[in-house]
Structure 1
Amino acid sequence: MSKRNMIFKKKLVAHALVFAFGTSALTIGVMPEAMAQSSNGAVNGQAPAGAVVTIENKSIGLLRSVKAGKDGTFTVSQLPPGTYLLKSGNEELTVAVNAGEGTAATFVGSAQQVVVTARLTRIDVKSPESSLVMNKAAIDRVPVLRDVTAVALLAPGAVAGDSRIGQTGSRAGNVPSLGGASPAENVYYINGFNVTNNLNGVAFNQVPFDAIGQQQVKTGGYGAEFGRSLGGVLSVTTKRGTNEWHGGANVVYSPESLEASSVYTEKSAITGKWELHNRPGGTDDLKSNVWLGGPIIKDKLFIFGLIQAANVKRESYFTTEQETLKNSTPQYLMKVDWNINESNLLEFTGFSDKSEDKIGTYKAATPYGGAKGAVVGNDTLTNGGQNLIGKYTAWVTDDLTVSAMYGVGKYDRKSEIQTASCPRITDARTSPSIKLGCSTVTSISDPNANDKRTAFRIDAEWNLGAHSLRFGMDDEKYEVVDGTKYPGGDSYTIRNLNPGSKLSNGYVNNTAAVQPYMAIRHFENGGIFTTKNSAFYIEDNWQATKNVIANIGLRSESFNNLNANGVDFINVKNTIAPRLGLVWDMKGNAETKVFANAGRYYIPVMSNTNVRLAGAELDYTDYFAFNGTYGADKFQLPGRGAQLGTRLEVSNGKAADPRTVVDPNIKPMYQDEFILGLQQAFGNRWSGSVKVTHRKLQSVMDDMCNDEGAGAWAAANGYNATDAAKIADTVGHCFLYNPGKDLTANVAFASGLKAITIPAAALMFPQPVRTFNALEFGFDRAWDGKWSLQGNYVLAFNKGNTEGYVKSDIGQDDAGISQDWDYPGLAEGSNGYLPNDRRHTLKVWGSYQVTPEFRLGANLVVQSGRPRNCLGYYAGNTDGVSILYGAASFYCTAIKPGLQPRGSYGRTDWTRDLSLQAHYAPSWYKGLTFAVDVLNVFNERTVKSLNEQGESALGTISPTYQQPLSIQKARTVRFTAQYEF
């Protein structure tokens, strides 16, 4: 080998190592051979026909060899992420394998010298998937919040969900919307194990942030092994031990003293507009991590462990109360890897993300500040839990690989409320509303509320030359203990009723004066419920021609939901979801790729449906005149006058026969997707892409309560008065079906249970519509040890008459049981641009190594606002029940007469968020680093969402209409000191 070629080889290997540990590539085309939910990766490439290719990762003692086929292609799958040395004859290549990503490698077969033809600006021409893959080093170079959602929001087509949708306490409202889907329609994995909270899809388990090895966000075109998602797939691969002992410790601190001022909103008496005013309070966040990993037995047995300690304190100041939240819950990760031999690998992962928020509530001496008054109550809210995952991988032959995984995951949702006996009392006649009495929470969950997932899956890949078959199955059992009630049993809300205005129960104020009234609502439900999901899939990755690959797949899923008595009330078997992907390597040199996808995707029936529809639920409201007095004790119960109208009953507290609450022909919610894209490699590590995406929701599953439509149809079609009333009552109990379709209902007539079919026209609902159309441009300059730059611009249109599994208009996260389809009047005017529609989004981030010791980073996000609405009491004539839902329709007569279709009130303002980072690695002490991140440098405080409910009664303007609900996070400064060895 010539000296020149030796130097060239050394440089290329060095660059490849930098690429392996530092790249953050926007990958449009993830290798399909990366199985088991993207916890591992793959290498595929080209070598002389019949050549033996060896692949070795010395850091974990893994060595594999394969034989190239007659056409010279070879594939090695199920590889743990890391750096690998490939050899074929006299040639060597060093490549990086990322979780869920395919890495290309090409040998030319020279017997004289080592010739490396691979480019560092490489395109995967084997798969049409769309994803963002970032390893921990790349994530650390981007100034973002330290959580999975913040990293996911870097992906094109990802926008932040409504702040009211998600978990509670310190984890509140932090879930993304991907590709126009609702925030409840993503699926989350850790080391291949599904950690999505299946109660309503808006929560998930997480490992400590410093335990993340890589994170992948799939935003479209994913293969048949993935399901249970209409939005995207968020997959985390944890760190693991290697043949060298490595460890470290860090301290990450965001001081409240350097956080920009907290704000509150107040309506100006002069302009009538909502204004932001400073107030004390903020968050002091201190976390520390200690980790260690290495070989117990070199090349055989490895271990990695991390423990995170926390000391978080958040002070909040409101009109009548102050709140202090403290969290010191430790979290951990343990990862064990055992190379049994060269053909068998066993892995174990255990982690806990249990989080306990200790919340103290105090009376306020003055609104929005001042000294603390008397203690109101001390509460504890729990989220998260323990997860145990085992996985076995066997390379049976050079052409057959099999893996099996089993896991148990727990998620606690319990609350310990000291003021559980205190009813919730709110005086909503003024803005802001005034909270009275001694309650500290709006609702109380079952003290034993928790979720448990038990799951296993088997995956296999069989290489047959031009065809590579992948197939597998999985099975999940999800057990839920859940229940909700109001503190003290009832919720009291005091409002004004204008002359001539109407309450939900039909009462009309016929006087000439404004009439104060109070609504007293009682709500309780609960039980123990089970959900079972299973699937199998098969996919052929076919090398159709030298430059064209077709991924032809089929997935079948089954969903089984049981009521509180353990009886099936939903049992859908063998849904069929075809997937087709095409990739064309235009020039045959992995520089230009054209790709296309067409696929169908289903999502499970969430366990929330079991709780709300198949459990025993008691829900009623009484209305009384308010006499202007309050009780003198801590409860401060409002003085009630005469009752206004009759009781409004929604649920009677009895669990219905499961056969009489679900359409036996029901189909789960599903969506079709079509993608066409182009990716081009350029010199010096640059690549660019353009992609068009079309997603269309084809079926919605939700509850419907239109007893009026069902009763009118029955009376017009020969049923006697008794049977017509029975049909109306069955449907009016609220019935799960596919909106816009014919309804089949099992009705308990005097003669027995009988199925009847009510045509869609009689129920008067429109066809469900949700589309997402996007044009995406992306660019990437991969990290080379000196600098990197990456970003994307998306022009998107998210339109329809339903957001999907949640309703961000009012912050409702009842997945599958939203109010959208209860009565047809609520659907009038609902078609338009949806809450997750952000027409323009620009994201750019990068880093620059100024000197060997100093590095700078930046992250910029510019985004247009969401549509605005005015929701009010139903004033149409399609049905007589929609008015009972309060400010829930697109009539808002107190503001403007007539129907006001979705999006009629413009949009919220554009948001701009610039974050910066400075990183220092002193040469005088190896392994020591310091970093400062400033998030939202210019402290932009743009309103991101507002209260869209414009009426407190029919014809009465709500004083809190357009009150800001969420605002850009205040500027924060984060310090990190870290030592690694």
Structure 2
Amino acid sequence: MFEPSTSTRPRRRLALVLAATGLLPAALFGQGSTGSITGLVTDSSQARLPGVTIEARNADTGVVLTAETGAAGEYTVPLLQPGHYSLTARLTGFRAFTQSGITIELGRVTRLDISLEVGEVTETVEVTGSAPLLESETSTVGQFIENKTVTDMPLNGRRAGELVALMGNAVTVSKGVIRPRIAVAGGRGDQQNWMIDGVNSANVALENPQALFNPPVESVQELRVQQNGYSAEFGNSSGGVITISTRSGTNQLHGSLYEFLRNSAVDARNFFAADKAPLRWNVFGFAVGGPIIKNKTFFFVNNEWQKQRIGVTNLLTTPTALQRIGDFSQTTNAAGALTRIFDPFSGATRQQYANNIIPGSQQDPVGLALMDYYPEANRAPSNQAGANNFVGNRTNALNLSTLTLKVDHVFSERDRLSFRYILHDFPTNNTPVFSRPEADPFGNFSDRRAYSYLFNHLHNFAPTVINDLRVNIQPRYFITGPLEIDGGWPAKLGLKGVPGEAFPRVNVSGFTAMGATNQGRTQTPIWDHHVVDIVSWFKGSHSVKMGGEFRYSRNAENFNQWESGVLTFQPQGTNLPGTGNTGNAMASMLAGYLHRGQVRTLDRIDRRAKYWAGFVQDDWKVRSNFTLNIGVRWETHTPRIDALDRQNGFDLTATNPVCNCPGVITFAGLNGQGRTVYQGDYNNFTPRVGFAWQPFGDNKTVVRSGYGIFYGPPLPGSNNMAAGFSLDGDFLTPDNGVTAPFLLRDGFPTVQRPELGPGFGAVAPGQAAVYSPQLIDQQRQLGYSQMWNMSIQRTLGFNTVFEASYLGNVGHKLPGPSVSLNQVDPSLWRSGNMQALRPYPQFNAVTRVSPMWGNSSYHGMNLKLEKRFSHGLNFLMNYTWAKFIDDVYSGQEAGESDLGMQNYYDRHNEKALSGNDVRHRLVWSSVYELPLGKDRKFLHDGVLATVLGGWNFGTIITLQQGSPMGLTTQTNGLGSAFTPGPQRVNVESNPALPKSEQTVERYFDTTAVSAPGTLQFGNSSRALLKGPGIVNFDVSLLKNHRWGEHYNVQFRFEAFNFFNHANFNEPGRALGSPQFGVISSAADPRSLQFGLKFAF
């Protein structure tokens, strides 16, 4: 049921929460883009000194912030822009103390204790040196990436998001210059909170927190990832917080002009390609920053363009010359046994086609027309089943431009204002592999543009009370579709009953699909607005923050997803029911015998939602060597509404008048129903507690531990739930392929929009169901994780720290894959048509969208050795040993542990290793400056200094074990008992092969598994095998040539996958498919990049 539209519960609860946290008068905000410095001031006898004036001066801008020590000698200078600082302490009767060379890092509390000597305040004791690297004030476990790493590391894409992969307890799910995905410390690949300059930079409007802005490295100052135990200031994430700080101007004018280029002429060939895939890749731009008014107003601007023409090699499976004319006499499985095909029109007991050939008179004219759009085979297949008999190259074209503009102004020591603007424009045009682009499954275009307008105001009400307000306005739009969107292709094919103009989607099991999955989508406007305000209050040994945030999202779109139809063919169309190794999906298409047909067009929708949060955090210095972090956060996502009330729900128990059975589609804003399709979840209070303890009090060792509860976003929301406001037809075989829902030559049955009401979409008993409703759980709750950690840090000298940490993460109510509720209870199964036995026989699938019922468990150990840049060297080594278990597929996984639930009535059997379970992972990264040349240790001038000086060397090494994967059947023998869903294989013996026996043609023992019998579930796990691992070396070589004091030219050479190691993707996992057990693709081969950069 819907919530009543007149309900005031959300508003009342929100007001109570805000009042309890002191937030009702003001909005709130966070230190997501700044750092701070804290410590104790004592005299030579260790007596604590109150009333000491502390000045923190930014060495680059001259901006000074002051604080005063409290009664116990403690001080904190918060909200410092990352950079280089000097700290001065003054008290009458003591010599002034100044320490320079202090580096303030993004998101870090730097500890610096000061001892004052008796004397005149006009006398100054000066010290040069950085503050200790220990994380001595917080229990948060994470990773900081300094600017030297950002600028000098070999980065394939020149985007800051790539640097996240350098940390431990992480698994890269997908790379990309636009929106990389990474699973952090037991979180899921879509549960991070991406923030730039302390505000949201993720896709909130679609309830899908992927990175929306992945800024160029030239615009980035530094980056920090909080993995576990982050404070109550941060929320809306159960999978880490990724914070990126953009650069600001300084008192000196600095800038650069740069270009990077790559070309396939100097690259290696992909393992599976006969020839090199073409590549043209250029990144060029400029960055400049400096003063507008010295010590007052500063600017920074970066404009970068990226032009990519990336060649991609595809191994595809297409029909053979004989199959094209209906001759399947040479069609075998991988073992060489003939695959017999049967005439679906020959009666209840099907007869085999004579000589395994479909006569021309029985071939469907639409099926024949479709066959002509497949490219002809051009290579020898990988096995006897005919897998990978076609190779083709295509090009993914990207024209990406990013403009970053930032202006900072200091009105006074009490008021600072910052404005930051980002324009992200990234149209794409992906060329086809097929010679006939209209039928190509890869070719498409998109046009996307996103903006971010950030206003940040810092105000000191008093030296101990500071307010930080940020407002981010983030509009964007998105348009996408297939290349030949208006070609009238259904009519040219002879396909009837669809209104669209694009080529239909054609899914032929075991073969490459044809046509686009998306036949046209326009999203505009899309809004992701964010307001945050945080008040920081320093009282005695307490550093208190209280604040909150508000996010408003909107997504308006026109989505013609399947306007030209989706045609699905399975081997069951031409098999002998109840037998194995019979039937071929391509033969089913040629016979015109469909397994499923879908058509869908959607009226314009306009979805909107809000996010509210409030928090209190107290970092309490119980003793000089012991800090206690205590906090609590409340947050909620309000139920989504549609501005036009174009969304539907589903009442599981109401009686449907058409069939007199349970299950009624309900409509927002109709018949007294409220505007939301599920109830809100408003009791999300999350405690956070942790400590940092220096047991020896020597600033060399710290023990840290923390625990907290962390809610994730309510992903993903479905924009498809618009029953009554779309033209929908879903026609499915009622008996697992024995009977076709309709014949291809006849076209789609007429689909009409029924009148909105309790009988919408339903059919009477005995009639073929045609509608598949979707629903969100009416009692939907936010998923959450309980996280805890224990770590020990030890300084080793030379600016180096060793850390051993243990991280735990247990998730509950996690979103799982959408699943049909309309599975027949296995105790009622029988052969034949089981539609009447479904819980809701008046419908086909009844899909529960992303049910919040998943659980996960992660335990990881990480050993980290880190040296911050000094004496020409930095390095970071992370080794992680971890185990990750869950019972739902997340949709964003490095491995493929199936795509859904096998048996709706047996969720317990879904527990298995997660697709993001990577047992062993080692990542090494470093930057080394050879000590030769100007401003270095040796060879300061002369010819040798010119030739041998100025060289830098960078490297990233990744060694990673493979991820779990499951094996399913190509032919789902469960039929209408469950739609849709994978049927897993039966395990007869261990299918894993020794590494010495694994080949690309036979990665695992394909004979060790078998297909379950009809109406039986497979006995295998979701995660049966481990896929291939990763061995990758990236290197950079930089040559700097300086002249004068202010100019530098840098030549860069970078090599990705330097040793050209073939990192294979996963093999085919569908038993019965020609690709079963065969690896068909690999990651990129060695690629070289050259760059030239002029800096002043």
- 1:881 Cα deviation from its structure 2 partner: 5.2
CA contact (8 A) 1:210 1:289 kept: no
SS at match of 1:150: helix
Residue 699 of structure 2 is matched in structure 1 by: 590
CA contact (8 A) 2:896 2:964 kept: no
Matched, 1:694 2:808: yes
How does 1:231-630 map onto structure 2 within 5 Å? Answer: 231-263=239-271, 276-316=272-312, 318=314, 320=375, 323-361=394-432, 363-364=434-435, 379-420=444-485, 421-426=501-506, 428=508, 433-434=511-512, 439=515, 441-449=516-524, 451-482=526-557, 484-486=559-561, 489-497=564-572, 516=588, 517-519=593-595, 520-525=597-602, 527-564=605-642, 565-566=644-645, 567-570=675-678, 571-606=680-715, 608-609=717-718, 611-612=720-721, 618=728, 620-622=730-732
CA contact (8 A) 1:561 1:607 kept: no
CA contact (8 A) 2:889 2:900 kept: no
Residue 70 of structure 1 is matched in structure 2 by: 71
SS at match of 1:230: coil
TM (normalized to structure 2)? Answer: 0.71
The residue type paired with residue 451 of structure 1 is: I
Quick one: percent identity of the two aligned structures?
16
Residue 100 of structure 1 is matched in structure 2 by: 107
SS at match of 1:137: helix
In structure 2, the CA distance between the partners of 1:706 and 1:892, relative to structure 1 (3 Å rule), is: farther
Q: Which moved more, 1:938-947 or 1:404-413?
A: 938-947
Residue 863 of structure 1 is matched in structure 2 by: 960
CA contact (8 A) 2:791 2:806 kept: yes
C-alpha distance in 1 between matches for 2:467 and 2:1056? 44
SS at match of 1:922: strand
The residue type paired with residue 450 of structure 2 is: G
C-alpha distance in 2 between matches for 1:465 and 1:613? 56
Residue 754 of structure 1 is matched in structure 2 by: none
- 1:937 Cα deviation from its structure 2 partner: 0.6
> 1:885 aligned to 973, 980, 990, which one?
980
CA contact (8 A) 1:37 1:189 kept: no
In structure 2, the CA distance between the partners of 1:895 and 1:162, relative to structure 1 (3 Å rule), is: farther
Please list the CA deviations of residues 35-77 of structure 1 after superposition, one character each: whole Å capped at 9, or x if unmatched. 7252011111221312211111143231122111222211010
How does 1:805-816 map onto structure 2 within 5 Å? Answer: 806=892
> 2:159 aligned to 147, 153, 157, which one?
147
How does 1:96-245 map onto structure 2 within 5 Å? Answer: 96-111=103-118, 114=125, 116=127, 121-145=132-156, 146-161=158-173, 171=178, 174-198=180-204, 199=206, 200-245=208-253
In structure 2, the CA distance between the partners of 1:301 and 1:966, relative to structure 1 (3 Å rule), is: farther
Matched, 1:895 2:1004: no
SS at match of 2:718: helix
In structure 2, the CA distance between the partners of 1:510 and 1:673, relative to structure 1 (3 Å rule), is: closer
CA contact (8 A) 2:896 2:965 kept: no
Matched, 1:792 2:878: yes
Matched, 1:80 2:81: yes
SS at match of 2:1054: strand
C-alpha distance in 2 between matches for 1:685 and 1:608? 46
- 1:963 Cα deviation from its structure 2 partner: 4.9
Residue 1094 of structure 2 is matched in structure 1 by: 979
CA contact (8 A) 1:874 1:883 kept: no
Residue 764 of structure 1 is matched in structure 2 by: none
In structure 2, the CA distance between the partners of 1:882 and 1:327, relative to structure 1 (3 Å rule), is: same
How many pairs are equivalent? 846
Q: Which moved more, 1:848-857 or 1:148-157?
A: 848-857
SS at match of 1:497: helix
SS at match of 1:149: helix
C-alpha distance in 2 between matches for 1:385 and 1:549? 42
**Structure 1: segments with no counterpart, 5+ residues:** 1-33, 264-275, 366-371, 503-507, 628-636, 714-723, 741-767, 813-817, 952-956
CA contact (8 A) 1:706 1:824 kept: no
> 1:831 aligned to 895, 911, 919, which one?
911
Residue 930 of structure 1 is matched in structure 2 by: 1051
**Structure showing greater Rg:** 2
SS at match of 2:623: coil
The residue type paired with residue 522 of structure 2 is: P
Residue 999 of structure 2 is matched in structure 1 by: none
C-alpha distance in 1 between matches for 2:986 and 2:555? 38
The residue type paired with residue 857 of structure 2 is: T
C-alpha distance in 1 between matches for 2:440 and 2:959? 43
- 1:261 Cα deviation from its structure 2 partner: 1.4
Residue 716 of structure 1 is matched in structure 2 by: none
Q: Which moved more, 1:844-853 or 1:564-573?
A: 564-573
Please list the CA deviations of residues 805-825 of structure 1 after superposition, one character each: whole Å capped at 9, or x if unmatched. 65776699xxxxx84499335
CA contact (8 A) 1:258 1:972 kept: yes
In structure 2, the CA distance between the partners of 1:156 and 1:648, relative to structure 1 (3 Å rule), is: farther
- 1:834 Cα deviation from its structure 2 partner: 0.9
C-alpha distance in 1 between matches for 2:848 and 2:116? 67
CA contact (8 A) 1:863 1:912 kept: yes
CA contact (8 A) 2:31 2:79 kept: no
SS at match of 1:143: coil
SS at match of 2:133: coil
- 1:938 Cα deviation from its structure 2 partner: 0.9
C-alpha distance in 1 between matches for 2:302 and 2:474? 19
C-alpha distance in 1 between matches for 2:72 and 2:875? 37
SS at match of 2:638: strand
C-alpha distance in 2 between matches for 1:737 and 1:450? 25
- 1:689 Cα deviation from its structure 2 partner: 0.6
CA contact (8 A) 1:828 1:890 kept: no
TM (normalized to structure 1)? Answer: 0.79
C-alpha distance in 2 between matches for 1:74 and 1:730? 67
- 1:376 Cα deviation from its structure 2 partner: 11
C-alpha distance in 2 between matches for 1:821 and 1:530? 34
SS at match of 1:36: coil
Greater fraction of residues in strand = 1
- 1:394 Cα deviation from its structure 2 partner: 0.8
In structure 2, the CA distance between the partners of 1:809 and 1:937, relative to structure 1 (3 Å rule), is: closer
- 1:711 Cα deviation from its structure 2 partner: 14
SS at match of 2:274: strand
- 1:699 Cα deviation from its structure 2 partner: 2.0
C-alpha distance in 1 between matches for 2:442 and 2:155? 35
Please list the CA deviations of residues 257-299 of structure 1 after superposition, one character each: whole Å capped at 9, or x if unmatched. 2222135xxxxxxxxxxxx343431432101111221111112
C-alpha distance in 1 between matches for 2:462 and 2:976? 65
Matched, 1:40 2:28: no
In structure 2, the CA distance between the partners of 1:88 and 1:770, relative to structure 1 (3 Å rule), is: same
**Structure 2: segments with no counterpart, 5+ residues:** 1-27, 43-48, 91-95, 317-374, 376-391, 486-500, 646-674, 738-742, 750-765, 829-836, 934-949, 989-1008
Q: Which moved more, 1:116-125 or 1:907-916?
A: 116-125
- 1:837 Cα deviation from its structure 2 partner: 0.6
CA contact (8 A) 1:870 1:900 kept: no
